[in-house]
Structure 1
Amino acid sequence: MDTLNDQSKICVNNVTKCFSSKQGEVTALKDLSLDIRDGEFLVVVGASGCGKTTLINMIAGFDTPSSGEILLDGKPVTGITPECGMIFQQYALFPWKTVQENVEFGLKMKRIPKSERKAIAAKFIDLVALNGFEKSYPHHLSGGMKQRVSIARALANDPEVMLLDEPFAALDAMTRQVLQEQLVRIYEKHKKTIIFITHSIDEALLLSSRIAVMTARPGRIAQEIVNNLPHPRNADVQLSDNYMALKRKIWDSVQAEVLKSMEVETG
């Protein structure tokens, strides 16, 4: 793969996020700092409740830090921005629109001419291997196909950053593996800056150029691990000694944080 740009695309600087609950104030993140380089595929893993989704929602501009700041290209993130494309675990497609119309939606909002947006949508529908399903509605599609529509829609808008919050978690194991490998191929081709949230160490290793392990709540970065597994990434990579060594290293870190979170919950 090409060498990554050393310039930081996103800077998370000493971010703390607190929420009010019936039990009082909850600190989801505390003094969390993280830099994501331009063209990097960063995967964030950690125990349930450690603040992974809170972090990605603030990067997307859906929420704001209680203190600290998040910068995109050196400018504070103050709200939702077209520079970031978000893909959720739930597919978030418009059920009354066809595959073609869903992929074209963002382009239509940008007032791109009909013929041009049709050509752009066709390009990305082809990229996610959904040719022949352009006129299908979401209820005619499998879960994996719906998520491919979501990916095509995000890519069609040409965002600088793609944010994915456990997008494959609800899929069966075989579909998940296929989409993981497809996402890696898309990354290798387009070199988008990607931040991907997951609970799966195997998924993190297959996808990432770097892995950030979060602590138990309040979330901070416990460890950052460069993923030097060779490309192309596919299921065969999982059989290598290097893969198993990296998996053990990440598991040791995640396991320690899971145990901490259990101790907190049981008091």
Structure 2
Amino acid sequence: MAAVKQTMISIEHVTKSFGDFKALDGVDLSVRKGEFLVILGASGCGKSTLLNMIAGFEQPSTGRVVVNGRQVNDVDPHCGMVFQQYALFPWLSVLDNVAFGLKMKGMGREERRNVAQRYVEMVGLKDFANSYPKALSGGMRQRVSIARVLANDPDVILLDEPFAALDAMTRQVLQEELLEIYQKSGKTIVFITHSIDEALMLSTRMVIMGARPGRVVCDIENDLPLPRDAAVQLSPRFNELKSQIWNTVQAEVMKALGTPAAS
């Protein structure tokens, strides 16, 4: 009998309101250690709000969020966040940006540079370690953001549409690189996207959020074999899953607009 994986994130009966606006209503969700969970859903369904509560940037109105056995009541240092915007320090080199969190933890200069160098190399930026963010493309800056989070060795990595602003070719390259990093690191990852193709490429499991107020309406295991590359999109199973997800998302969008979904 296979061992049951430890629960890394537990979201328990969570609601979230901003004044009279209810963003989330009765969300229950568990994420297993080592899972790559992708959260899908139309704009305004509460995906980013949910991610912000896991990180500790927002607190539930009711219910609770637990990460690795600890209830989240404030910004959680055990979660690392990668945003759509790169949020790098322009006055620091690539290496120093990646090492910044380690410096804040009090790690010695030589050790933190060695750790940072390892993750800079992991994301393919060895030749740019001494460059500054202004000299990098958008895709390269996002690699630095990912390396900085990895260097801090969090329990959970949270990514809020990190590739949305990138061109299609760069996005595909970074998807494949992130998947390789996931397989090497074994980290628990929660990733938000609007793209069904991206969800299928990256995830081991997908959750679809319903129209506002947000709630979980569908939970799908991604059984496409790993490792994956762009060729996975040609497989019949990819298209079966894509159709299932699209029909669910479309029904929720139509519900939000007050329009009956097409049969």
TM-score of the pair, normalised by structure 1? 0.95
* Contact persistence 2:13–2:64 (CA under 8 A): yes
The equivalent position to 2:96 in structure 1, one of 85, 91, 101, is 101
Corresponding residue for residue 16 of structure 1 = 15
How far is 1:176 from its partner? Answer: 0.3
| Residue identity opposite 2:188 in structure 1 | T
Q: How does 1:161-200 map to 2 (within 5 A)?
A: 161-200=156-195
Q: How does 1:252-267 map to 2 (within 5 A)?
A: 252-263=247-258
| Residue identity opposite 2:110 in structure 1 | S
Corresponding residue for residue 23 of structure 2 = 28
* Contact persistence 1:46–1:214 (CA under 8 A): yes
* Correspondence 1:215 to 2:228: no
Distance, in Å, in 2 between the alignment partners of 1:4 and 1:92 is 39
Corresponding residue for residue 86 of structure 2 = 91
| Residue identity opposite 2:152 in structure 1 | N
Quote the sequence identity (%): 58
Q: How does 1:103-122 map to 2 (within 5 A)?
A: 103-122=98-117
* Contact persistence 2:68–2:155 (CA under 8 A): no
The equivalent position to 1:144 in structure 2, one of 139, 146, 153, is 139
* Correspondence 1:229 to 2:224: yes
Q: 1:261/1:225 Cα in 2 relative to 1: closer, same or farther (>3 Å)? A: same
Q: Could you say what secondary structure the match of 1:260 adopts?
A: helix
Corresponding residue for residue 126 of structure 1 = 121
Distance, in Å, in 1 between the alignment partners of 2:83 and 2:38 is 15
Corresponding residue for residue 65 of structure 1 = 60
**After alignment, is 70-79 or 153-162 more displaced?**
70-79
Distance, in Å, in 2 between the alignment partners of 1:97 and 1:221 is 41
Distance, in Å, in 1 between the alignment partners of 2:134 and 2:4 is 41
Distance, in Å, in 1 between the alignment partners of 2:148 and 2:3 is 25
TM-score of the pair, normalised by structure 2? 0.96
Distance, in Å, in 2 between the alignment partners of 1:178 and 1:91 is 17
* Correspondence 1:240 to 2:235: yes
| 1:106-153 Cα shifts (integer Å, max 9, x gaps) | 000011011101110110000000011111111111000000000000
| 1:78-132 Cα shifts (integer Å, max 9, x gaps) | 1112210000000010111110110000000011011101110110000000011
Q: Give unpaired runs (5+ residues) of structure 2.
A: none
Aligned residues: 258
Q: Could you say what secondary structure the match of 1:132 adopts?
A: helix
| Residue identity opposite 2:174 in structure 1 | L
How far is 1:5 from its partner? Answer: 5.2
Distance, in Å, in 1 between the alignment partners of 2:123 and 2:258 is 43
* Contact persistence 1:47–1:261 (CA under 8 A): no
Q: Could you say what secondary structure the match of 2:59 adopts?
A: coil
Corresponding residue for residue 149 of structure 2 = 154
Q: 1:167/1:9 Cα in 2 relative to 1: closer, same or farther (>3 Å)? A: same
* Contact persistence 1:4–1:38 (CA under 8 A): no
Q: Could you say what secondary structure the match of 2:127 adopts?
A: coil
Distance, in Å, in 1 between the alignment partners of 2:3 and 2:24 is 28
Distance, in Å, in 1 between the alignment partners of 2:40 and 2:3 is 21
Q: 1:169/1:144 Cα in 2 relative to 1: closer, same or farther (>3 Å)? A: same
Corresponding residue for residue 6 of structure 1 = 5
Note the aligned Cα RMSD (angstroms). Answer: 1.1
Corresponding residue for residue 48 of structure 2 = 53
Distance, in Å, in 2 between the alignment partners of 1:78 and 1:135 is 37
* Contact persistence 1:215–1:257 (CA under 8 A): yes
